Amino acid sequence: MVIPTVTRSTPFYATPEMHISAAYRRRAGAAPFRRQEPPDAFAKMANWIMRFLCTFLLFLATSTWGQAPRQIAAAKPQAEGPSRKSALHKSTLEAYLRHLYVWGPTIQVEIGEPRPSRRLPGFLEVQVRASAGGASQEELFYVSRDGSKILKGLVFDVARHPFHEEMARLATQSDPAFGPPHAPVTLVLFSDFQCGYCREEALLLRKNVPASFPEEVRVVFKDFPLESIHLWAKAAAVAGRCIFRQSAALFWDYHDWIYQHQAEITPENLKSKVMEFARAREKQMDLLQLQKCVDTGATEAEVNRTVAEGRALQVHSTPTLFVNGRRLVGQMAWNQLRQIIEYEIGYMRAAETDASCCEVRLPSPLKD
């Protein structure tokens, strides 16, 4: 680095020694002294500052150069370490869940594709299905976007009905139902025609709901046959759907009849029993059409649809009842169920009042 010097124009004073040396240099043929001016205080200060800055910069460069290799060496093990696990990798999530639930090699695990969660913004939803033989279980997990965290639980939006999501996912338009279509409370029942507890639940609902809540409650029936333990349940569901295609009212006759005769039915005599039921009502039914429907399993897809709907809602057993989306598993005494229904009716009425408040209108028979 070239360090500049700062000079000022000042008088020049020659010493005797310089005159002698100059004369000697002329005789020797050497170049004379160059005329230089002694630096004043300002020049000395500028030169000192420049030297200090150069020394300081050199010190910094030396110290940084010595520390850089140590910093790289310290970071190197982290870069070479194992990659961070992520629940967004299907193999990682499957291994983790197998350990969590003690799912052995005989259980098949299917990991769904992650999708943005509506219930929990900022997270992804991953549907997981585990199955072994005829048994299956579906679970919903919330995974952070970086894959480091997994959540499992209920998520509620205080601005909506607590079970808004369940209500939205429970289709009720194409299934057997009784009660007013626009009732404030809807009961959706996942049931199995071969299940003893389902028989008791069916008798309870059929007897008490129309008598206690004729205008306030609608009941929707959904097939959920447990094929692994009930051998004729699905065939009975398919037959029931065949009857429902002909008459919604006759389906409920079949519903009541098959539960009443549950103990008499076997996989071998189911078809003959169904036709026995139909012949007793031959004036109201097309027997040939019914027999063809049962023989070909024409309504099996409809049964599969309700089973898939139940699994998506984590229904694992029957009976499972949803009261405006609120899940109630197993048989329940009527007094308890009636209280839940009454509470839900009050909640819905209060919500309607809040929605219409607060507005004053002129009386008119016309509506907007």
Residue 46 lies in a domain: yes
Query: Which pLDDT does position 132 carry in this prediction?
Result: 87
Residue 78 lies in a domain: no
Average pLDDT of the chain is 83
Answer whether residue 359 shows pLDDT above 90.
Answer: no
Query: Which pLDDT does position 45 carry in this prediction?
Result: 73
* Boundary (domain end) residue, out of 125, 151, 177: 151
Query: Tens digit of pLDDT for each residue in 67-125?
Result: 544 443 443 434 434 568 999 999 999 999 999 999 999 999 999 999 999 889 999 99
Q: Which of 106, 101, 109 is nearest to 129 (CA)?
A: 109
Query: Which pLDDT does position 118 carry in this prediction?
Result: 86
Residue 143 lies in a domain: yes
Query: Which pLDDT does position 23 carry in this prediction?
Result: 52
Contacts (Cβ under 8 Å, ≥6 apart) of 339: none
Residue 204 lies in a domain: yes
**Three-state secondary structure call for residue 314:** coil
Residue 5 lies in a domain: no
Query: Which pLDDT does position 136 carry in this prediction?
Result: 79
Query: Which pLDDT does position 223 carry in this prediction?
Result: 98
Domain count, the chain: 3
One domain for residues 216 and 170:
yes
Answer whether residue 309 shows pLDDT above 80.
Answer: yes
Among the ranges given (65-79, 178-192, 196-210), the one the predictor scored with the smallest mean pLDDT: 65-79
Query: Tens digit of pLDDT for each residue in 233-260?
Result: 999 999 999 999 999 999 999 999 999 9
Query: Which pLDDT does position 145 carry in this prediction?
Result: 93
* Boundary (domain end) residue, out of 26, 42, 73: 73
Residue 81 lies in a domain: no
Answer whether residue 282 shows pLDDT above 80.
Answer: yes
Query: Which pLDDT does position 254 carry in this prediction?
Result: 97
**Higher pLDDT among residues 280 and 350, named by residue:** 280
One domain for residues 63 and 195:
no
One domain for residues 52 and 124:
no
Backbone angles phi, psi at 229, to 5 degrees: -120, -15
Token pair 């012949």 is found at 279
Backbone angles phi, psi at 46, to 5 degrees: -65, -45
Among the ranges given (13-17, 195-199, 294-298, 330-334), the one the predictor scored with the smallest mean pLDDT: 13-17
Q: What's the average model confidence in pLDDT over 21-49?
A: 59
Query: Tens digit of pLDDT for each residue in 159-174?
Result: 888 888 899 889 888 9
Whole-model pTM above 0.85? no
One domain for residues 195 and 333:
yes
One domain for residues 56 and 139:
no
Residue 1 lies in a domain: no
Tell me which residue range forms the domain holding 335: 164-354
One domain for residues 179 and 215:
yes
Element (H, E) at 303: helix 300-312
pLDDT confidence bin for 229, thresholds 50/70/90:
very high
One domain for residues 202 and 260:
yes
CATH number, domain containing residue 196 = 3.40.30.10
Omega cis (within 30) before 319? yes
One domain for residues 293 and 320:
yes
Query: Which pLDDT does position 75 carry in this prediction?
Result: 38
One domain for residues 52 and 109:
no
One domain for residues 199 and 339:
yes
Residue 134 lies in a domain: yes
One domain for residues 101 and 138:
yes
Q: Which of 303, 296, 302 is nearest to 193 (CA)?
A: 303
Percentage of the chain exceeding pLDDT 90: 60
One domain for residues 99 and 179:
no
Query: Which pLDDT does position 31 carry in this prediction?
Result: 53
